[in-house]
Amino acid sequence: MSFSSLPLEVLVQVLSYLTPTDIVKANRTCKSFYSASRVTKLWKTVCDKEHNVTVEQIGSSSFEDFYTKVLHHYGQTLGLWQMQIEHYGGLLSVKVVNGEIIATQLLPPIDPEVWMPFKRKDLFKISVDSEGKTEVNCLQGSGGPHKIEIMKGNSSNQFSVQCKQPEKHSKSKNREEKFASWIRDEVGIPPEHGVQGYQMELLKIKYLSIQQYESSCSFTCLQPINSLSNVPIQPGLFKGTYGGHGVEVIQLTYEGNRLHGTKVSGDPNVPAGKRSIIVHLDEPLVLNREQQRDLNSIKQLQNEGCSLPEGQEAPARQPFSIPFGIEDRGFVQLCEQKDIPTDFCRARYFGTGLIAMHGFRNSSRTDCHLVIFDEDVFAFLWMELGSLSVYSRADDFL
Ligand SMILES: [Zn+2]
């Protein structure tokens, strides 16, 4: 019996068990396989199986074209990536929209609005042009899309890009105007209105540093995180307030009885990739209001030991107050936005936070408390800094 005597549906079924590369090889072997390999359903299955790409994402494009010309070569860029920008890091989301692969940088909202969505900036796209050719385009600068090269890294969890016409990035407006508009995006107000001396210094350093990465940048995969049972708060990405450095993104992960918050975006003091937060899950705390009256009363507890006696379960709800003299970095505003009471929390743990001087000099871990309010909101009390940072789950990257 030859393959040509089989009905088309059966041949499509046979091909659907092969890898996409083998499908292309098979369609060269005989006419029947060729016909079967042109069936839309087959490529729809391949797109879905290999990269979870759906009809809605493909739009009016052809599945076969999109797979063979775009996904096959560039499918591994899909997902969430950490940008390798010195000190500052960053978050990149690559997905399929309307039959194109689009890479979008997700920038944190202005300080302290951690409840707001990311600001989005499209960096490059991969598509099929009207003549059926694959196009890889840089979307930065002015003068429209222009060529960019995507290079695979040493392993599948890395890649990098190199713009072929970087002069298009600087041409646009005059430099001062460009800087002013960047500051407005970064802090929400024009530079002439209230950007203070030290903050202005930080902004200038950041602007000059990140500009170097506009035409070439590397990316490292952020592994997807699965939900866990019996944890005080689910792992994942959070937006948090870091004072003069603005809002930064951290990734919460669990390792034994430690909860880690690693910076996805960072600053020249504590750069991206460093472990901002370490929480000791074996040291739950329960404090009454008097004990959190001010910093001294909390520090005193630290020396006496205020951990819950072993074997005793922490209550589902306990009092919380901001100690007198502690700078609130957005807690009251966040609770208002999320409709969360400010005077009770769900759990509290002892932990340490990473602090350092500019350039990550003299880094040290300092005593802190993690305070959980609900599944999406927690605060971090930096005792040595005298401040309370707040964190809100970042779930708007999908
Ligand atoms: Zn470019």
Residue 386 Cα distances to 75, 168, 328, 364, 371, angstroms: 46, 45, 9, 16, 15
Looking at residue 346, its pLDDT comes to 96
Ligand 1 center to 75 CA (angstroms): 21
Ligand 1 center to 119 CA (angstroms): 20
**Cβ neighbours for 242, distance < 8 A, ≥ 6 positions apart:** 248, 267, 329, 389
Quick one: 165 exposed, middle or buried, by C-beta within 10 A (0-12, 13-18, 19+)?
middle
Report the length, in residues, of the chain. Answer: 398
Written as six digits, the tokens of 365 are 């871990």
User: pTM of the full predicted structure?
Assistant: 0.91
Ligand 1 center to 67 CA (angstroms): 25
Looking at residue 306, its pLDDT comes to 62
Q: Write out the chain's pLDDT in tens, 398 residues.
A: 677 788 888 888 888 888 888 887 887 888 888 887 777 788 888 888 888 888 888 887 888 889 999 999 999 999 999 999 999 999 999 999 999 999 999 999 999 999 999 999 999 999 999 899 999 999 998 888 999 999 998 888 999 999 999 988 876 567 788 888 888 888 887 766 777 788 888 899 999 999 889 999 999 999 888 999 999 999 999 999 999 899 999 999 999 999 999 999 999 999 999 999 999 998 899 999 999 999 888 888 766 656 666 677 778 899 999 999 999 999 999 999 999 999 999 999 999 999 999 999 999 999 999 999 999 999 999 999 999 999 999 988 76
Q: Which of 256, 247, 333, 320 is nearest to 289 (CA)?
A: 320
Looking at residue 43, its pLDDT comes to 84
What is the rounded CA–CA span in Å between residue 152 and residue 383? 44
Ligand 1 center to 145 CA (angstroms): 8
What is the rounded CA–CA span in Å between residue 296 and residue 127? 60
Looking at residue 259, its pLDDT comes to 98
Helix, strand or coil, per DSSP, at residue 64 = helix
Q: Which of 365, 197, 183 is nearest to 270 (CA)?
A: 365
Looking at residue 106, its pLDDT comes to 96
Q: Which of 347, 196, 218, 325 is nearest to 279 (CA)?
A: 347
Quick one: 316 exposed, middle or buried, by C-beta within 10 A (0-12, 13-18, 19+)?
exposed
Ligand 1 center to 141 CA (angstroms): 6
Asked whether the beta carbons of 95 and 75 are under 8 A apart, the reply is no
Ligand 1 center to 214 CA (angstroms): 7
Ligand 1 center to 102 CA (angstroms): 15
Ligand 1 center to 265 CA (angstroms): 23
Ligand 1 center to 151 CA (angstroms): 15
